[in-house]
């Protein structure tokens, strides 16, 4: 008996495995691109797994990941990263706002692959592709996805082609080539790179990234909820994350729904999703919705920012196509979207470096800035546990490192 299957979120049809899913061009017969994985393993087993003290990687949760043979695992040590208690942020909240809160930082910069939050998804993709005999993959990307998938797919022996916009960070191109993969610099912006990737996918029958709702990405990232239970024994009250596409919030909701039967006290944390003021279409969409009193169809009314000018290239999704999926999750959680000024990011990253010795990349700085903004907006309350999901280290962001050093 298979340990998992996929279920279409539109029509409920069961897709038995990824071999079938890939053969159907990563979609259900009804045309839907969204499916969730379901498992036959008894979730009580998770109670034993979260007793583990020093797991090597997130394959600790093999029973609740969608592949069959452990021999196919492709890993650089990712996923089971430390959650640290950062007291300087607690002290700030107390001194400036008289708020007693516990502040936890989820250190994605300590993932072994490329020091980013993309490593778990890239690892699980490489593993599942290997298991299913996939030989080629392609994507349009601006940064982290490109480098993380380059490294993990190379280890799995999979040929990977990345279409990048003309404005790509040269550190990214260099990293893709260093991992022996292919990069096509397109003479246009990100949406143009996406068109080129789609054409390559059709002309050459090469599997293409399924985007933020890709069940592989969601299943990899949902393990962060299992990690909250393993490391904290609970779900935090507040979850802060910088958002570009929005797989993170989707994955947190999926993880919480999976553990509901064995940990009924585990509730969706209040989600505070952060964007910098130079590319904040989801924040603007949320503000429109609030103004309208969340009238019917509010989640479909969001702006598109053409060609956003921002130093945070990995948070430069000007067309927030995932807003209709992500925003209702935020609403259900009782959370909100937050806007932070881009011109403070280097200063905020410098304080983290001075206090905790950690060099964060610009997107992680957006997330940290969200904590300060949340305090200022009264979004954090006395007695709450706040988890800040910091996305990446400073590797591949040499210009931002200079800004931090000079801040």
Question: Is residue 11 within the footprint of Zn ion (CB under 5 A)?
Answer: yes
Question: Is residue 13 within the footprint of Zn ion (CB under 5 A)?
Answer: yes
Nearer to Zn ion, 32 or 182 (CB): 32
Q: Are 312 and 345 in contact (CB under 8 A)?
A: yes
Nearer to Zn ion, 32 or 278 (CB): 32
Determine the interface stretch with Zn ion among 24-32, 146-154, 219-227, 377-385 (rule: CB under 5 A): 24-32
Question: Is residue 10 within the footprint of Zn ion (CB under 5 A)?
Answer: yes
Question: What's the closest the beta carbon of residue 27 comes to Zn ion, in angstroms?
Answer: 8
Footprint (CB under 5 A) of Zn ion, residues 324-343: none
CA angle (338, 343, 348) in 5-degree steps: 75
Say how far apart CA 243 and CA 276 lie, in whole Å: 9
Nearer to Zn ion, 30 or 52 (CB): 30
Nearest-10 crossing angle of helices 170-178, 144-155 = 10
Footprint (CB under 5 A) of Zn ion, residues 42-71: none
Residue 162 bridge partners (DSSP)? 139, 183
Q: Are 78 and 117 in contact (CB under 8 A)?
A: no
Nearer to Zn ion, 28 or 312 (CB): 28
Q: Is 360 exposed, middle or buried (0-12, 13-18, 19+ CB in 10 A)?
A: buried
Question: Is residue 30 within the footprint of Zn ion (CB under 5 A)?
Answer: yes
Question: What's the closest the beta carbon of residue 191 comes to Zn ion, in angstroms?
Answer: 27
Question: What's the closest the beta carbon of residue 41 comes to Zn ion, in angstroms?
Answer: 24
Say how far apart CA 241 and CA 248 lie, in whole Å: 8
Q: Residue from 4, 5, 6, 8 that binds Zn ion (CB under 5 A)?
A: 8
Query: H or E stretch including 183?
Result: strand 182-185
Question: Is residue 6 within the footprint of Zn ion (CB under 5 A)?
Answer: no
Determine the interface stretch with Zn ion among 5-13, 76-84, 88-96, 373-381 (rule: CB under 5 A): 5-13
By rule CB under 5 A, what count of residues binds Zn ion? 7
Q: Residue from 32, 191, 231, 355 that binds Zn ion (CB under 5 A)?
A: 32
Q: How far is the CA of 114 from the CAs of 77, 130, 158, 365, 379, in angstroms? A: 10, 20, 18, 17, 32
Say how far apart CA 153 and CA 131 lie, in whole Å: 12
Question: Is residue 394 within the footprint of Zn ion (CB under 5 A)?
Answer: no
Alpha carbon 9 to chain centroid, angstroms: 20
Question: What's the closest the beta carbon of residue 7 comes to Zn ion, in angstroms?
Answer: 9
Positions touching Zn ion (CB under 5 A) are 8, 10-11, 13, 28, 30, 32
């Amino acid at each position: 008996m298979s340990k998992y299957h996929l279920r279409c979120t539109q029509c409920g049809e069961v897709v038995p495995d990824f071999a079938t899913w890939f053969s159907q061009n990563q979609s259900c017969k009804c045309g839907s691109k969204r499916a969730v994985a379901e498992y036959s393993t008894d979730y009580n087993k998770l109670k034993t797994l979260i007793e583990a003290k020093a797991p090597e990687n997130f394959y600790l949760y093999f029973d609740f990941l969608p592949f069959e043979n452990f021999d196919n695992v492709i890993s650089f040590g990712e996923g089971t990263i430390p959650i640290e208690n950062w007291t300087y942020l607690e002290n700030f909240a107390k001194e400036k706002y008289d708020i007693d809160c516990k502040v936890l930082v989820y250190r994605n910069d300590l993932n072994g692959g490329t020091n980013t939050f993309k490593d778990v998804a890239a690892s699980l993709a490489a593993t599942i592709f290997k298991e299913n005999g996939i030989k080629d993959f392609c994507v349009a990307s601006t940064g982290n996805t490109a480098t993380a998938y380059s490294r993990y797919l190379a280890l799995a022996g999979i040929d990977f082609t990345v279409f990048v916009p003309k404005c790509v960070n040269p550190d990214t191109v260099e990293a893709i080539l260093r991992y022996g993969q292919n990069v096509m610099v397109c003479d246009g912006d990100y949406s143009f790179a996406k068109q080129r990737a789609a054409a390559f996918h059709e002309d050459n029958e090469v599997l293409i990234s399924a985007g933020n709702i890709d069940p592989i990405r969601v299943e990899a990232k949902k393990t962060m909820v299992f990690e909250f239970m393993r490391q904290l024994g609970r779900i935090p009250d507040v979850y802060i994350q910088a958002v570009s596409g929005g797989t993170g919030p989707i994955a947190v909701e999926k993880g919480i729904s999976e553990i509901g039967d064995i940990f009924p006290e585990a509730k969706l944390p209040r989600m505070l999703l952060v964007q910098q003021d130079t590319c904040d279409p989801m924040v603007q969409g949320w503000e429109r919705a609030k103004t309208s009193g969340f009238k019917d169809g509010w989640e479909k009314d969001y702006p598109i920012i053409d060609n956003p000018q921002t130093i945070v290239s990995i948070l430069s999704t000007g067309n927030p196509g995932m807003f209709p999926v992500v925003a209702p999750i935020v609403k259900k959680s009782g959370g909100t979207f937050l806007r932070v000024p881009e011109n403070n990011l280097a200063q905020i990253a410098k304080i983290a470096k001075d206090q905790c010795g950690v060099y964060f990349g610009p997107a992680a700085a957006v997330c940290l800035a969200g904590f300060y903004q949340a305090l200022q907006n009264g979004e954090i309350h006395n007695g709450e546990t706040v988890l800040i999901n910091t996305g990446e280290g400073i590797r591949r962001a040499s210009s931002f490192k200079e800004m931090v050093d000079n801040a």
